[in-house]
Amino acid sequence: MDFSIPQQTQDFLGAVREFVEKELYPFERRDHARGFKALLPELARIREDVKKRGWWLPQISKEHGGLGLSLVEHGLLSAELGRTPLGHYCFNCQAPDAGNMEILIQFGTPEQQKTFLDPLLRGDIRSCFAMTEPEHAGSNPVWMSTTAVKDGDDYVINGHKWYTSSAEGASFTVVMAVTDPNQDPHFRASMILVPLDNPGYTLVRNIGVMGDAGEDWASHGEVRFENCRVPQSNLLGGEGMGFAIAQERLGPGRIHHCMRWIGICERSFEIMCAHAAKREVAPGVPLGTRQMVQQWIADSRAEINAARLMVLHAAWCIEQHGAKEAREEISLIKFTVANTMQRVVDRAVQCLGGYGVTDDAVFSHFYRHERPARIYDGPDEVHKQSVAKRILKRHGITIKSGANQ
């Protein structure tokens, strides 16, 4: 493995960091005070600037109008963009659109790509992804009640979803629905493209997350499909391929998320260190002279460095061997980096004291919207169990699915 970063890449990352600090940090307080939707005209200007600089769609191949970064390179970029909640959005590599772009490129028909993918790549529209259901445990993704039944040339979809992130303002969703309940659980569901002007679709509400319901892209929706009729040509991939396609999306997506979390760690760490150096606990006595604060700084630096290397190793494994062969590394980084982020942000809040818990600081956003990192895309406990089973199998112990002592 060679994790050396070419000078050209270092220069690029440095330019992006300068751009993020100069152009995006000032928007954070305005985002909290005015709401995301009020910032859209100004953010549109910044997105156009990103296009002109040639930084648009960093995760997408040049063939489809992107920057064509490798998974490792995009991981490094994600760490820079993750320093602010607005970074990925301004580069059009934000979830859930980034994942939807990838699966449409890989599995979409020419007509689907023309209708859904091309305007998404241009940034003219947004999308969302409807999978999780409030009636069923998200830790068991094959258990769902949403159905898509054939009727003539159409599918008729009925179901209830939530945490359909960025549903407000989206033009279409990729919905996971059971198309054959008699199949093996992993082959029952399919992905279907649903335009959101469909009369059978309803955005019930934006879900409040620790007091913040958000709006537009920065939100999580509860949605319903009630006799929602779409043509069968809107099927993505083949029938019963829903979970196979989801797995294709998850591996690279977790690299993006984990490196974004590294960016959050780095931003929090820098704020903590700057505060420790400047804040005085008595005349002429900086906060950083206190051993406990020094321990927070040392522990955070070690944990961030370790987490970063784990993610880069996982990205390298995916590039070399594919997501299936790298599934252990992918699970390891998911819970390791999420917990690292939570610890680092919490130390930074503690270091800044009263200011740290105000909405004047960026930490309130990190606390609300990044605590779910230990839950979505599989809770920590599921990933740990999965990793342990694979390790124990190499030692001669096979644990059947569902066995839990």
N-terminal to C-terminal alpha carbon distance within the chain: 38
pLDDT of amino acid 86: 95
- 127-236 topology per CATH: Butyryl-CoA Dehydrogenase, subunit A; domain 2 (2.40.110)
> pLDDT of 188-223, one tens digit each?
999 999 999 999 999 999 999 998 899 999 999 999
Do 99 and 253 form a contact (C-beta atoms < 8 A)?
A: yes
pLDDT of amino acid 139: 79
The correct CATH number of 243-394 out of 3.40.50.300, 3.20.20.450, 3.50.20.10, 1.20.140.10 is 1.20.140.10
Residue whose pair of structure tokens reads 């005070």 in the numeric block: 33
Question: In the predicted model, what is the mean pLDDT of the chain?
Answer: 93
Residue 385: band (very low, low, confident or very high) from pLDDT cuts 50, 70, 90: very high
Question: Has residue 403 got a pLDDT over 60?
Answer: no
| Cα distance between residue 10 and residue 17, in whole Å | 11
Q: For 167, list phi and psi in degrees, rounded to 5.
A: -65, -40
Burial letters 361-396, b for 16+ CB under 10 A, else e? bbbbbbbebbeebbebbbbbebbebbbeeeeeeeee
- CB atoms near residue 308 (< 10 Å): 22
pLDDT of amino acid 34: 86
pLDDT of amino acid 405: 46
Q: Nearest-5° angle of CA 123, CA 125, CA 130?
A: 120
**Residue of 330, 342, 340, 332 whose CA lies nearest to 372:** 342
SS (H, E, C) the chain: CCCCCCHHHHHHHHHHHHHHHHHHCCHHHHHHHHCHHHHHHHHHHHHHHHHHCCCCCCCCCHHHCCCCCCHHHHHHHHHHHCCCCCHHHHCCCCCCHHHHHHHHHHHCCHHHHHHHHHHHHHCCCCEEEECCCCCCCCCCCCCCCCEEEEECCEEEEEEEEEEEECCCCCCEEEEEEECCCCCCHHHCEEEEEEECCCCCEEEEEECCECCECEECCEEEEEEEEEEEEEEHHHEECCCCCHHHHHHHHHHHHHHHHHHHHHHHHHHHHHHHHHHHHHCEEECCEEHHHCHHHHHHHHHHHHHHHHHHHHHHHHHHHHHHHCCCCCHHHHHHHHHHHHHHHHHHHHHHHHHHHHHHHCCCCCHHHHHHHHHHHHCCCCCHHHHHHHHHHHHHHHCCCCCCCCCCC
Question: Has residue 348 got a pLDDT over 50?
Answer: yes
| 4 vs 315 pLDDT, higher one | 315
CATH number of 7-122: 1.10.540.10
- CB atoms near residue 324 (< 10 Å): 11
pLDDT of amino acid 130: 97
Task: Using a cut of 0.85, tell me whether the model's pTM lies above it.
Answer: yes
Distance of CA 8 to the CA centre of its chain: 27
Query: What contacts 145, CB < 8 A, 6 or more positions away?
Result: 133, 135, 136, 159, 160, 178
Question: Has residue 4 got a pLDDT over 80?
Answer: no
Q: For 129, list phi and psi in degrees, rounded to 5.
A: -135, 120
Residue 338: band (very low, low, confident or very high) from pLDDT cuts 50, 70, 90: very high
Average pLDDT score over residue span 272-295 = 97
| Cα distance between residue 101 and residue 119, in whole Å | 10
Q: Percent of the chain having pLDDT more than 70?
A: 98
Average pLDDT score over residue span 86-97 = 96
| Cα distance between residue 357 and residue 361, in whole Å | 7
pLDDT of amino acid 256: 87
pLDDT of amino acid 247: 83
Which range is least confidently modeled, 161-165, 258-262, 298-302, 367-371? 367-371
Peptide bond into 231 cis (omega under 30): no
pLDDT of amino acid 115: 98
Please report how the helices 71-81 and 242-278 are oriented relative to each other, as an axis angle in degrees rounded to 10.
Answer: 40
- Tokens matching residue 381: 């406990």
**Residue of 302, 258, 331, 256 whose CA lies nearest to 101:** 256
Residue 3: band (very low, low, confident or very high) from pLDDT cuts 50, 70, 90: low
Q: Where are the domains of the chain?
A: 7-122, 127-236, 243-394
pLDDT of amino acid 195: 98
